Amino acid sequence: MKNDRGSLLLAGVATGIIWAATMLCACHARADLHPLVIVPGSGGNQLEARLTREYKSSSLLCSRLFPPVRDRDGWFRLWFEPSVLLAPFTQCFADRMSLYYDPGSDDYCNAPGVETRVNRFGSTESLLHLDPYLKQVTAYMATLVKSLQKVGYVDGKTLFGAPYDFRYGLAADGHPSRVGSKFLQDLKDLIEKATTSNKGKPVILLSHSLGGLFALQLLNRNSKSWLQRHIKHFIALSAPWGGAVDEVLTLASGNTLGVPLVDPLIVRGEQRSSESNLWLLPSPKVFDNEKPLVISPSANYTAHDIAQFLNDIGFPEGIRPYESRILPLVEGLALPEVPVTCVFGSDMETPEKLIYRSKAKGFDEQPEVVYGDGDGTVNMASLLALESLWKENRKQPFKVVTIPGVSHTSILKEEIALQEIVQEIVNIHADHVGSSYVQR
Ligand X SMILES: *[C@@H]1O[C@H](CO)[C@@H](O)[C@H](O)[C@H]1NC(C)=O
CB of 301 to ligand X, least distance (A): 9
Query: Measured from the CB of residue 311, what is the shortest distance to ligand X in angstroms?
Result: 15
**Residue whose CB is nearest to ligand X in the complex, by number:** 300
Stretch that binds ligand X, among 72-80, 140-148, 193-201, 292-300 (CB under 6 A): 292-300
Q: Least distance from C-beta 79 to ligand X, angstroms?
A: 38
Instruction: Find the part of the chain contacting ligand X (CB under 6 A) among 158-166, 179-187, 295-303, 400-408.
Output: 295-303
Residues numbered 215 to 234 that lie near ligand X (CB under 6 A) are none
Of how many residues is the chain composed? Answer: 440
DSSP 34: P
**Nearby residues of 286 by Cβ (< 8 Å), 6 or more positions away:** 241, 242, 243, 303, 333, 381, 382, 385, 389
Q: How far is CA 274 from the centre of its chain?
A: 13
Nearest alpha-carbon partner for 110 in 69, 78, 71, 72: 78
Sign of the alpha-carbon torsion through 429, 434, 439, 440: negative
Nearest CB to ligand X, comparing residues 62 and 294: 294
When binding is defined by CB under 6 A, the residue of 257, 299, 334, 430 that contacts ligand X is: 299
Report the 10 Å Cβ neighbour count for 417: 26
142, 130 contact by CB (below 8 A): no
Q: What CA–CA distances, in Å, run from 215 to 92, 95, 122, 145, 184? A: 32, 29, 15, 19, 8
- Is the CB of residue 281 less than 8 Å from the CB of residue 324? no
Instruction: Give yes or no for residue 295 binding ligand X (CB under 6 A).
Output: yes
CB of 313 to ligand X, least distance (A): 16
- Write the interaction track for ligand X spanning residues 33-62; mark x where CB under 6 A is met and - where it is not: ------------------------------
Which of 147, 235, 150, 155 lies closest to 418 in space, CA to CA? 147
CB of 349 to ligand X, least distance (A): 21
Q: Does 370 bind ligand X (CB under 6 A)?
A: no
68-76, 269-277, 291-299, 384-392 -> range binding ligand X (CB under 6 A): 291-299
Q: 220 vs 302, which CB is nearer to ligand X?
A: 302
Residue 300 within binding range of ligand X, rule CB under 6 A:
yes
Residue with Cβ nearer ligand X (22 or 300): 300
**By C-beta, is 101 or 309 nearer to ligand X?**
309
Q: Say which residues have a Cβ less than 8 Å from residue 375's Cβ, sequence separation at least 6.
A: 238, 344, 345, 346, 348, 350, 383, 406, 407, 408, 411
* HSE (side-chain half, CA atoms, 13 Å) at 319: 13
| Distance in Å, CB of 300 to ligand X, minimum | 4
113 sits near ligand X (criterion: CB under 6 A): no
Are 424 and 401 in contact by the 8 Å Cβ rule? The answer is: yes
CA distances from 328 to 9, 166, 356 (A): 32, 20, 29
Residues labelled as active-site residues: 209, 375, 408
Q: Total number of residues binding ligand X (CB under 6 A)?
A: 4
- Name the pairing type of β-strands 47-51 and 368-372: unpaired
Shortest distance in whole angstroms from residue 359 CB to ligand X: 11
Choices 229-237, 293-301, 323-331, 363-371 (CB under 6 A): range interacting with ligand X: 293-301
Of 289 and 300, the one with the shorter C-beta distance to ligand X is 300
- Minimum CB–partner distance for residue 295 and ligand X (Å): 5
Q: Which is nearer to ligand X, 292 or 362 (CB)?
A: 292
By the rule CB under 6 A, 292 interacts with ligand X:
yes
DSSP track, 82-145: GGGGSHHHHHHHHHHH-EEEETTTTEEEEPTTEEEE-SSTBSSHHHHBSSTTSHHHHBSSHHHH
Dist CA 245 CA 368 (whole Å): 13
DSSP category for residue 273: H
> Which 381-400 positions form the footprint of ligand X (CB under 6 A)?
none
- Burial of residue 219 (number of CB atoms within 10 Å: 0-12, 13-18, 19+): buried
Q: 142 or 295, CB closer to ligand X?
A: 295
Cβ closer to ligand X: 197 or 300? 300
**CA distance linking residue 362 with residue 296, whole number of Å:** 8
- What mask of x and - would describe binding to ligand X in positions 233 to 272, judged by CB under 6 A? ----------------------------------------
The stretch among 237-245, 254-262, 294-302, 338-346 that binds ligand X (CB under 6 A) is 294-302
In whole angstroms, the minimum distance from the beta carbon of 370 to ligand X comes to 11
Rank residues 273 and 296 by Cβ distance to ligand X and give the closer one.
Answer: 296
Binding-site ranges for ligand X (CB under 6 A) = 292, 295, 299-300
